Chain A
Amino acid sequence: MTETSSRSKPIEAWITGIGLATSLGEGLDAHWEALNQRRINADEKSFAPYVVHPLAPVSFDAQIPKKGDQRQMEAWQRIGTYAAGLALDSAGVKGNTDILSRMDMIVAAGGGERDLVVDAGILNAEAKGNAAPGFLNERLMNELRPTLFLAQLSNLLAGNIAIVHGVTGSSRTFMGEEAAGFDAVRIALARIAAGQSDIALVGAAHNGERKDLLLLYEFGDFNLKEKFAPVWTREQSSGFALGSGGAFLVIESRAHAEARGAKPFARLTSIVADHARRKRPGEVTSTLESLWSKLGSRAEATAIITGATGAEPVTSEERAFLRAHPDIPVRATGTMFGHALEAQFPLGLAVAALSLSRGALFAPDDSSDQEIEMSEPPAQIVVIGAGHWRGEGMALVEAIR
């Protein structure tokens, strides 16, 4: 591969593989069916008062054959490694060492899961007066599993994908909540468009069934409590329900795909992102408007798939943006998948590419007036991500006819 000089015409990039494992199931057919049946898998009891979207049962053995590998991972890594394997299968490159050894990888990741029992045990002992210097050291030295650290390190999802699936061209991990998700795909696309890369695996995974994560968002009162409601109808109780899931894409240059006879799901035309300071009302709305204008020409049959979180004030700001573009059918992935932070944007791209490849936008899943039916096949879908706290991203995905 020779890198072309800059500022030449961008190289066309296709989405040729999709891997999805979420609260709605695994694989593309299961997701398409669930989306069109308006299924929602929200659990109001297990983590009450918090609502979460738990991972549907998944046979990890199918993508992570070695039990030893599975034991080395915590749930978020298993979900991601599993979804990455599905994406490689879907692209038809699984086990193709020639391609995998030069395939780039960008993963958007949060961090690992804590040992809640160890944490609570230490706090209880300290509350009962065990405050000697070195007490914390002693407990952590004795009680932390030596390999837990490896299941906590952000870059070890990528590390596990390299080990289990053999993707080794490069390995980069982006962090930073929702923004990491769109920046991972943005950089992967930019590298392909500039000829710096031919093919990339990009995506993220999230385990929403975690009290240590609920804690981080509870500090800011971001968790949806008591009762599930669609993203657009949370005026009375704003917030998000954490969702479990992994979403990975194989993106490659059109020439690379055609040379190996790969069938595209969709064209990934462009991704733009920004970082509004959010100090004044309306900043997110105007940032989204500006990203929209940068995305390029839009056809008649356009739809929007947004990762709107349900958190405020950002969701209201996004609604103001959407109101300025009436008559475009909108779907909010937060309603049926919950909020998967880093994974939400790759998830949006995945269902956008799936919809374009099936020639239809899936059914609306919302009682408000925000989501309308779309009768014609979408030609383009704009995927939106506005982070619960920071980060605005937008992608244009197009049908290949």
Chain B
Amino acid sequence: MTAMRDKSGRPVVVVTGMGVVTSLGSGKTDNWARLCAGESGIRTITRFPTEGLRTTMAGTIDFIPVEPFSSTDLSERLANIATEEAVAQAGIGSAGDFPGPLFLAVAPVELEWPQRHELGRVIGSDTEIDYDQILRVSGGGAFKKYHRRFLFGSVADHLAETFGTKGSPISLSTACASGATAIQLGIEAIRRGEADAALCVATDGSVNPEALIRFSLLSALSTHNDPPHAAVRPFAKNRDGFVMAEGAGALVLESYEAAVARGAKILGVMAGCGELADSFHRTRSSPDGKPIIGCVRNALTDAGVTIEQIDYINAHGTGTPENDKMEYLGISSVFGERAKQIPVSSNKSMVGHTLSAAGAVEAVFSLLTLEHQRIPPTINYDVPDPAIPFDVVPNAARDACVTTVMSNSFGFGGQNASLILTREPV
């Protein structure tokens, strides 16, 4: 029998359920088929007017109606769909009674423009509008639902109630590494012996005018608007930014022991995780790459695996000039010559950057890569960047023997997190 504990004597953490929804579709089956076919979910935005915007496309999820729209409502719906799929696959607990804590990666919540417009209309056009006037009309119960809706903890509260998770649900943000951090918190809780199971969910429904404009003003977004499906070009010389996208990923983590005891199907192993913060700049990585290098090394050490054992890297690969360059620097510093041999592909070339959800969405895709022994491509890779000599699995999926995957996530605010996933316990 395989050991229930890892090399460090900690409980082995396995995955027994996964769910995903992205701009490519809802559920693992659709997503995997379209990912391996090299399809893009990026489209021209129709949700709101795009006049005057430099970027007019995104990986929006329009096939799930949310009326009236708010990013927080969409985030909640997406999280719900992914979690339902994950919990159903795991077959754990009973309906509305998940036997463990919830760790939710979610975009920071705030009141949005449709609600501000509504308040403005209540004040009317005869009065000069300022925040004092807005406050004057906001109390008394007429907008009570907005208090609840726009609390930071509201999405986690909904999930905790719907799925019956235990204890105090944790909502977290580590920017674009949030999904990986949610998984990391679940791994740590199980390793501590606090829980036999954890529900790790990450969601983002952020494509609204102000969110898009914020990233646009930071010059972070691609402006290759036409055709939209060719916008995200990770590792290519003509890459010019990331593309905002929506999505959610959910994973049921369990101790190997608990999963075996209840006869659950093991989908993969969360062998290790690493993190390291960067103190260089609010949006840029330290030019020497040390924090990324340290993060990747921490993950390898935590998992107890060597660079020779990693046979696929699921890259952060946003398609910004800066990220992809720094990711190459980090990976090549750790992996040496092997950095040019290991397949390194970016799911974001197809689904876009699902921001808070990305780490979990890409963990699900990494596990599907292990399951199907097939590596999804990096699409839109027509002009290689000689400064980044990765094997990016250009444009077409590839069958491969994959036993151990590294999935990287890096975010604004110096956030770095890496996960190591395997088919079998290491």
Partners in one complex: yes
Look across to chain A and name the residue whose beta carbon is closest to the beta carbon of B138.
A218
Interface check A289, CB cutoff 8 A: no
Give Cα distance in the complex from A368 to B31, angstroms.
61
Look across to chain A and name the residue whose beta carbon is closest to the beta carbon of B283.
A150
Question: Chain B residues near A156 (CB, 8 Å)?
Answer: 282, 412-413
Give Cα distance in the complex from A130 to B150, angstroms.
27
In the complex, which of the residues B168, B174, B189 contacts A172, with contact meaning CB atoms closer than 8 Å? B174
Question: Chain B residues near A64 (CB, 8 Å)?
Answer: none
Interface check B175, CB cutoff 8 A: yes
| B213:A155 contact, CB within 8 angstroms | no
Interface check A281, CB cutoff 8 A: no
| B49:A134 contact, CB within 8 angstroms | yes
In the complex, which of the residues B117, B160, B191 contacts A6, with contact meaning CB atoms closer than 8 Å? B191
Which of B79-87, B236-244, B273-281, B383-391 is near enough to bind chain A?
A: B273-281
Whether A219 touches B153, Cβ cut-off 8 Å, given contacts A127-B120, A149-B214, is: no
Interface check A222, CB cutoff 8 A: yes
Interface check B53, CB cutoff 8 A: yes
The distance from the CB of A110 to the nearest CB of chain B, in whole angstroms, is 6
Give Cα distance in the complex from A220 to B173, angstroms.
25
Question: Chain A residues near B189 (CB, 8 Å)?
Answer: 190
| A275:B134 contact, CB within 8 angstroms | no
Question: Chain B residues near A243 (CB, 8 Å)?
Answer: none
> Scoring A residues 118 to 129 as 1 if CB is less than 8 Å from chain B, else 0, what string do you get?
011001101111
Look across to chain B and name the residue whose beta carbon is closest to the beta carbon of A136.
B209
Question: Chain B residues near A150 (CB, 8 Å)?
Answer: 218, 282-283, 412
| B282:A393 contact, CB within 8 angstroms | no
Interface check B78, CB cutoff 8 A: no
Give Cα distance in the complex from A194 to B128, angstroms.
57
Question: Chain B residues near A109 (CB, 8 Å)?
Answer: 173
Give Cα distance in the complex from A173 to B175, angstroms.
9
Question: Chain B residues near A183 (CB, 8 Å)?
Answer: 168, 170
Question: Chain A residues near B209 (CB, 8 Å)?
Answer: 136-137, 140
| A176:B170 contact, CB within 8 angstroms | yes
Give Cα distance in the complex from A263 to B282, angstroms.
34
Give Cα distance in the complex from A170 to B282, angstroms.
15
Interface check B247, CB cutoff 8 A: no
Give Cα distance in the complex from A273 to B109, angstroms.
23
Question: Chain A residues near B134 (CB, 8 Å)?
Answer: 120, 123, 211, 215
Question: Chain B residues near A173 (CB, 8 Å)?
Answer: 172-174
Question: Chain A residues near B411 (CB, 8 Å)?
Answer: 155
Contacting B at CB under 8 A, from A65-99, are: 72
In the complex, which of the residues B131, B139, B151, B194 contacts A221, with contact meaning CB atoms closer than 8 Å? B139
**Shortest 10 CB-CB contacts between residues of A and residues of B:** A134-B51, A159-B413, A6-B193, A176-B153, A220-B147, A133-B49, A171-B277, A219-B147, A273-B168, A175-B152
Q: Which residues of A contact B (CB under 8 A)?
A: 2-7, 50, 72, 105, 109-112, 114, 116, 119-120, 123-124, 126-129, 132-134, 136-138, 140-141, 144, 146, 148-150, 152-156, 158-160, 162-163, 166-177, 179-180, 182-183, 186-187, 190-191, 194, 196, 211-212, 214-223, 273-275, 277, 389-393
Query: Known contacts A162-B279, A219-B138, A391-B153; can you find 4 more A-B pairs with CB under 8 A?
Result: A154-B152, A155-B173, A190-B189, A218-B135
